[in-house]
Amino acid sequence: MSDAEPRPSTDFIRSIVNEDIRTGKGDGRVHTRFPPEPNGYLHIGHAKSICINFGIARDYGGKCNLRFDDTNPVKEEQEYIDSIIEDVRWLGFDWEDRLFYASDYFGTLYEYAVKLIEKGKAFVCDQTPDEVRECRGTLTEPGRNSPYRDRSVEENIDLFERMRAGEFPNGARTLRAKIDMASPNLNMRDPVMYRILHASHPRTGDKWCIYPTYDFTHGQSDSIEGITHSICTMEFEDHRPLYDWHLDALGIYHPRQIEFARLNLTYTLMSKRRLHQLVKDGHVTGWDDPRMLTLCGMRRRGYTPEAIRNFCDRIGVAKADSVVDFSFLEHCLREDLNRRAWRMMAVLRPLKVVLTNYPEEKTEELDAVNNPEDEAMGTRKVPFSRVLYIEREDFMEDPPKKFYRLAPGREVRLRYAYFIICDEVVKDANEEIVELRCTYDPATRGGDAPDGRKVKATLHWVSAEHALDAEVRLYDHLFTKENPDEAPKGQDFTANLNPDSLEVLSGCKLEPSLSGAKSGDLYQFERLGYFCVDSKDSTPAQPVFNRTVTLKDAWAKAQAIERK
């Protein structure tokens, strides 16, 4: 094995896992978890986290739990729980019987809290939110102790029990960890462990009126589940000392928290707050709008789980802030679609072509390849007749040098059909081109000339008589700027919304094989891009297709550069 493959480099998290296994930490066990808060829909950034957590479990023969971090009933809803379960499953991951909720542990967490009170490591504080803020200090100044910090264990226990019993209104008291108000890490300045929230919880209903905070919940939940590596994003790095403090104070099993940089993508926004805003303010049609980088939006757009997973596996895992080019996501998408999608012909902006030397009543069935990348996908028949549609942009009356499609007097090939020559351009009163009159060469049936002559272009087409009508939705980036947050003074990201992010085309002409198209089928409309049936709005009578992504298009690119 002299020319061994260079071993794929391991990211820093896997290096840590390797080291832990080598040193026998945790008996060589690997157990991760994906811990979403059910307060919104999952997006491509979550996919990265999902792929890391489930991927590491898979690679090391370990396990990965799905755990909802549902400690804030005022923001969380069953709708989100349902969508998250659906999306993680769709992405292709399996948590077997390990679907958990932090709320499953509310009882245990309460006991843990009592334990810390008994150890003198927690106290009930009567300060108002404003007073807490007041005493917290600033980035450069230490905080001051709460006047309630030195209550007796008995009084703390009594008050905490009464908090639980519902004796006090929201915000009246909190349970706080007794750590260090002078800590340079603000998270360590006696952080709140429990707050009073008279709110109904999607899972526990009205059983509780006090709820543990993230900091008092996450590590203990990890501990309870026997998590070995608790992987989260960088903004929690400051919380790690607190994560560790709770676990040590409690003296329970202590997982290790590891932080990585969250995903950013050009032309897209990832924060849930702003995703909410886009939906709420009607800039998109919903969480599953195909322009959204939510998993449900991407699914509706035609992204495959395979493409998303491959993308996540290839972008790498590191701690430095980064912004991945959107074109890389598209690259991964096309790579998958190219080898799986059925090739079809569809004309989006039809231009009528009449073959003047083709018999009026005649129809032929021509053979077309379903996928040149995969012979096993076979061939199909495509009907051909005297009147056809071609793409408007495939004809130019007065073409520039680099344009080598159809033009007056020029010969091109109709894919899988015949060579045709354009003899005449028919215009209406407004000088609009409404029809092309062409002649075909019967000897070129199937697309090859027996005399060996070549044509520069091959066009897609659809027989008018046999065509299916459809609506096609073309999508572009939701934002015009690589960084949507880069807005003019006084304006926010909505100033960068792309007015052309959606273009709806009606009266598109599809080849008849598409009549059986159903949601989830992957298609390439030849020379145009990849398309899918819209899962919401399409009906057999009125089909609606979404453009998932265009094909790479050297001609379009050259034109775009020329226009600049």
Closest approach, Cβ 174 to RNA, in A, equals 5
Residue in 89, 119, 392, 557 binding RNA, rule: CB under 7 A: 557
| Binding segment (CB under 7 A) for RNA, from list 313-321, 420-428, 435-443, 500-508 | 313-321
Residue in 334, 380, 473, 509 binding RNA, rule: CB under 7 A: 334
Closest approach, Cβ 118 to RNA, in A, equals 22
DSSP code, position 285: S
In one-letter notation, the amino acid at residue 72 is: N
DSSP code, position 551: P
Give, as ranges, the residues between 367 and 386 that touch RNA (CB under 7 A): 371-373
The smaller minimum CB distance to RNA, of residues 448 and 471, is found at 448
DSSP code, position 64: E
Tokens found for residue 220: 């203990």
Instruction: Please report whether residue 222 would count as binding RNA according to CB under 7 A.
Output: no
CA distance 433 to 406: 13
In one-letter notation, the amino acid at residue 381 is: K
Instruction: Please report whether residue 426 would count as binding RNA according to CB under 7 A.
Output: no
CB 101 within 8 A of CB 68: yes
Tell me the number of residues near RNA by CB under 7 A. 94
Instruction: Please report whether residue 65 would count as binding RNA according to CB under 7 A.
Output: no
Instruction: Please report whether residue 203 would count as binding RNA according to CB under 7 A.
Output: no
Give, as ranges, the residues between 507 and 536 that touch RNA (CB under 7 A): 524, 526-527
The smaller minimum CB distance to RNA, of residues 485 and 506, is found at 485
Instruction: Please report whether residue 178 would count as binding RNA according to CB under 7 A.
Output: no
Instruction: Please report whether residue 324 would count as binding RNA according to CB under 7 A.
Output: yes
CA distance 33 to 562: 50
Dihedral (Cα; 331, 334, 336, 338), 10-degree rounding = -140
409: left (phi over 0), alpha (psi -120 to 50) or beta: left
| Binding segment (CB under 7 A) for RNA, from list 158-166, 423-431, 531-539, 551-559 | 551-559
Instruction: Please report whether residue 555 would count as binding RNA according to CB under 7 A.
Output: yes
Residue in 202, 226, 447, 512 binding RNA, rule: CB under 7 A: 447
Closest approach, Cβ 536 to RNA, in A, equals 27
Closest approach, Cβ 428 to RNA, in A, equals 25
Instruction: Please report whether residue 234 would count as binding RNA according to CB under 7 A.
Output: yes
Residue in 140, 430, 491, 539 binding RNA, rule: CB under 7 A: 140
CA distance 544 to 542: 7
Residue in 325, 365, 375, 465 binding RNA, rule: CB under 7 A: 325
Three-class SS state of 19: helix
CB 227 within 8 A of CB 243: no
Instruction: Please report whether residue 174 would count as binding RNA according to CB under 7 A.
Output: yes
Tokens found for residue 218: 């996450």
Cβ within 8 Å of residue 465, ≥6 positions away: 363, 383, 385, 387
Instruction: Please report whether residue 438 would count as binding RNA according to CB under 7 A.
Output: no
Binding mask 84-123 for RNA (x = CB under 7 A): ----------------------------------------
Catalytic residues: 37, 262, 272
Three-class secondary structure assignment of 497-525: ECCCCEEEEEEEEECHHHHHCCCCCCEEE
Residue in 119, 162, 207, 319 binding RNA, rule: CB under 7 A: 319
In this structure, the strands spanning 419-427 and 433-440 are antiparallel
CA distance 84 to 93: 12
Residue in 42, 132, 382, 533 binding RNA, rule: CB under 7 A: 132
Give, as ranges, the residues between 13 and 42 that touch RNA (CB under 7 A): 15, 35, 37
CA distance 383 to 366: 6
Residue in 32, 49, 71, 513 binding RNA, rule: CB under 7 A: 71
Closest approach, Cβ 10 to RNA, in A, equals 6
Helix ranges restricted to H, 305-411: 305-314, 326-340
Phi, psi at 291, each rounded to 5°? -90, -10
Residue in 152, 322, 356, 379 binding RNA, rule: CB under 7 A: 322
